[in-house]
Amino acid sequence: MKVGDERFLRGLYDLKYLFGDKWAPAILVTLSGGPMRRKEILSTISSYSIGEEWSDKHAVLHDSILARTLKKMTEEGLLTRIRCTKTFPVTVTYELKPEVLEFLTQAETLVAWADEHQELIAQAQAYSRRNGDEIGTLTGVAELDEIGLTDDEDDE
């Protein structure tokens, strides 16, 4: 193992944990343009053509799911919830923390890489549809051991 591999691996899993919620990417992209109210977030995300390549389940964001996800993301420190009492009724908006906006800017490089490697993405999506998302997680590694897949067999 090279020096720094463990830190890099831990960092990748930290990112997956932080931004891995089903609706987090859509919420992050939606809020990248500035603060929005919950209903605006919901209508914007509903207008996106979110592919179902990674799941055979229909991707529909309901208001109750959005409310829970916004609360979770706020508690995780990704979003700021702003309550304005100067208006009637009181308005609540959500916005990205500056460091999250910085992350999205950095992620543009990764998205460009994914655009250049569509065949690899398509292959991973097809595998995911056939087999679920179990493999590829830390528990998935243990599952590989359980089915007896060795490093030698993996190369075939």
Distance CA 138, CA 84 (A): 43
SS3 60: coil
pLDDT tens digits, 30-70 = 999 999 999 999 999 988 876 655 554 556 889 999 999 99
User: Does the pTM of the predicted model rise above 0.75?
Assistant: no
pLDDT tens digits, 101-138 = 999 999 999 999 999 999 998 898 888 878 865 444 43
Contacts of the segment 82-85: beta carbons below 8 A, 24+ positions apart? 82/35
Helix axes 63-76, 24-31, angle to 10 degrees: 80
Q: Work out the number of other CB atoms within 10 angstroms of the CB of residue 91.
A: 13
* Tokens linked to 120: 């690899």
SS3 31: helix
Identity of the amino acid at 149:
L
